[in-house]
Structure 1
Amino acid sequence: MMAGWYKTRIKGLLASKQFSEIVNLDAKPKSLIKVLLGLLYEKDPMISWRAVQALGLVLEQRAGGEVEVAREVIRRLLWSLNDESGGTGWYAPQAMGAVIATRPEALAEYIPIMFSFVDDPRLTTGVLWGMAEVARKKRALVQHYTAEILPWLDSPDRQIRTHAWWALYCIDPRLVLQVEASALGGKIYWQGELVSPAVLQQAF
């Protein structure tokens, strides 16, 4: 009953973008993490995206950046991508990116594992978003993926090419100087909303 109450409460807070309230809820960090992992499967994509953001915030601010807690979360996310899990963790790559970004150097071993899913068309966007998250915190850890990300700029899928642009932009804006951000056509999750690349370009 208590777990159900927390899920309803957290889902409502995600719907209204009240991230600080989620972080400060009177619950154990692991309980919050469990609920947020479950909300990655919501039918409403915006709830799932916000759960990704909240997951990173809880790990960083409530779990004190504890590496072992983060490792356990990543293991659960990887399991969700396993056929034997019985579910499909379509938001697992971006959640991995958010988690790795909380302690990028300590969790760097998971970056190549996350990137290994980039060729799955159902996960490409999430992987590229995750790479951007890590790059924003510690670009040196993902710079050597530049050559592998660049071809995705030519994807016929506007979300994929938009997220390739974002990953490269976060690694080094000079990599995409010749790309017209306003012409990419996709949207990127940023601070609770889906925004255009041009908006992010102006923000950084």
Structure 2
Amino acid sequence: MKQQQIKTRPHCPFCGDEVAQPQDQDQRKLGEFKVGHCQCGAVYACDATGHNIGSAMIEALVYACNDDWELAWELLPDQDYLTGRVESYDEITHQILEQRHLDGRYVRGVLYFVRLQKEITEIAQQRAEQKRDYLPPVEPERDPARPRQRADKKEVQRLALAGDIDGLVALTFDDVRTLRFLQRLLYTPDDDQRWWLAHVIGQVCARVATRQPGVVSDLLHRLFDASSDSAAANWGLVETMGSIIAARPDIYGAFARHLLRYINHVSTRPLVLWALGTVAARRPDLVRANQFYQLFNLLNDSDPLVRALTIRLLGRAGAREVGERLQALSREQTPVTIYEEGRPQTITVGDLAAEALKMTEKVEQA
């Protein structure tokens, strides 16, 4: 006698409530799983084949953390989050089929559940609110049937010097070599041009990363590799890395700590301080998480530019610990030139220290 198929709706393993059918994420990328969330706070990812449980687990965990990969990797199972799974799930009919077959096909789907502990949920929400202040909108999808442009060095240079971010983004989507041409333009003795190009590359990468984060990650790796050659380190590489990380710290924030490997070289020290200070303007937590207290002594450096860039960095990072030293430096009238958004700005060390004091006081009051 044929055994009767038992069909039930999937329920949350934590609260027992029935859960809705998983859906594609709003910003779906290749290889992602469909996801959903329960009223109790748990989230789940669907592995329709049952062969990618590990990937589904990561998907659910990152989704629970509001797509914050950095936070997700720091969490510990059982301590920071709980997990559960529902097997024999059929994605098509949104049912649990105990016999694991329906209409001649096997059913092997799994719903993988993650529920963050309350304090971790609060941290994830706070970090998500910080990110909303600077996340660029997702670039519109390009028509795959469109005639594609081919990048060449002269055209890329023309667009970059003109600050045509729209044109460079469109060209990058058509021809990823655009980013390589931009990198090559950094090798110029013109300081103003090099800083401008670093800013432009950061802005272009911020928008390209909404669709193709991998190509930007590849560029960052190339820049770090090139910077390992001390002869090349001064040619716009460190400042470009800082610009890219600062433009999308939600994706590339983990790269920030690697900038510190260049802090002991006299030629690259100001560039590292500038890069970290630019990142700190948007994500001070990324800087504070990397033993930034080791930089406090640079407030006494003999180079006024190093002092100024350290002040800029520590102020943006909310370093209350150096309040007294900033107070003393606020009386220094040495002028320095610092690049902001690719353009030079002249300011005194004292004025920078006064601004930094205000920033640290706001942090203390908060």
Give the TM interval when normalised to the shorter protein.
0.7 to 0.9
* Greater mean deviation of Cα atoms: 170-179 or 92-101: 170-179
Count of residue correspondences: 195
The answer to whether 1:189 aligns with 2:339 is: yes
Of the three residues 169, 172, 183, the one matched with 1:37 is 183
* Greater mean deviation of Cα atoms: 41-50 or 92-101: 92-101
Structure 2 gaps of 5+ residues are: 1-149, 360-366
CA contact under 8 A between 2:277 and 2:312: conserved in structure 1? Answer: yes
More helix by share: 1
In structure 2, what is the Cα distance between the partners aligned to 1:141 and 1:95? 18
In structure 1, what is the Cα distance between the partners aligned to 2:240 and 2:180? 13
* Greater mean deviation of Cα atoms: 38-47 or 25-34: 25-34
Of the three residues 154, 167, 178, the one matched with 2:300 is 154
The answer to whether 1:24 aligns with 2:167 is: yes
In structure 2, what is the Cα distance between the partners aligned to 1:139 and 1:63? 21
RMSD over aligned Cα, in angstroms? Answer: 2.7
In structure 2, what is the Cα distance between the partners aligned to 1:65 and 1:111? 22
In structure 2, what is the Cα distance between the partners aligned to 1:133 and 1:33? 21
Deviations 1:3-45 (A, max 9, x none): 13224413542xxxxx3x2333451243432222112211101
In structure 2, what is the Cα distance between the partners aligned to 1:66 and 1:2? 17
In structure 1, what is the Cα distance between the partners aligned to 2:296 and 2:257? 16
How do residues 1-204 of structure 1 correspond to structure 2 at under 5 angstroms?
3-10=152-159, 12-13=161-162, 19=163, 21-25=164-168, 26-29=170-173, 30-64=176-210, 66-83=212-229, 88-90=232-234, 91-144=236-289, 145-172=291-318, 174=320, 175=322, 177-178=326-327, 179-180=329-330, 183-197=333-347, 201=355
Structure 2 CA distance for partners of 1:185 and 1:151, relative to 1, 3 Å: farther
Q: Secondary structure at the match of 1:196?
A: strand
In structure 2, what is the Cα distance between the partners aligned to 1:53 and 1:27? 17
Deviations 1:135-177 (A, max 9, x none): 1111111114331121111111122111111111211275454
Tell me which structure has the larger Cα radius of gyration: 2
Paired amino acid for 1:3: D
CA contact under 8 A between 1:52 and 1:94: conserved in structure 2? Answer: yes
In structure 2, what is the Cα distance between the partners aligned to 1:67 and 1:125? 28
In structure 1, what is the Cα distance between the partners aligned to 2:189 and 2:257? 28
Give percent identity, aligned residues only.
21
Structure 2 CA distance for partners of 1:123 and 1:134, relative to 1, 3 Å: same
Q: Which of structures 1 and 2 has the larger relative contact order (alpha carbons within 8 angstroms, sep 6+)?
A: 1
Structure 1 gaps of 5+ residues are: 14-18
* Greater mean deviation of Cα atoms: 94-103 or 27-36: 27-36
Corresponding residue for 2:75? none
* Greater mean deviation of Cα atoms: 141-150 or 51-60: 141-150
Paired amino acid for 1:58: V
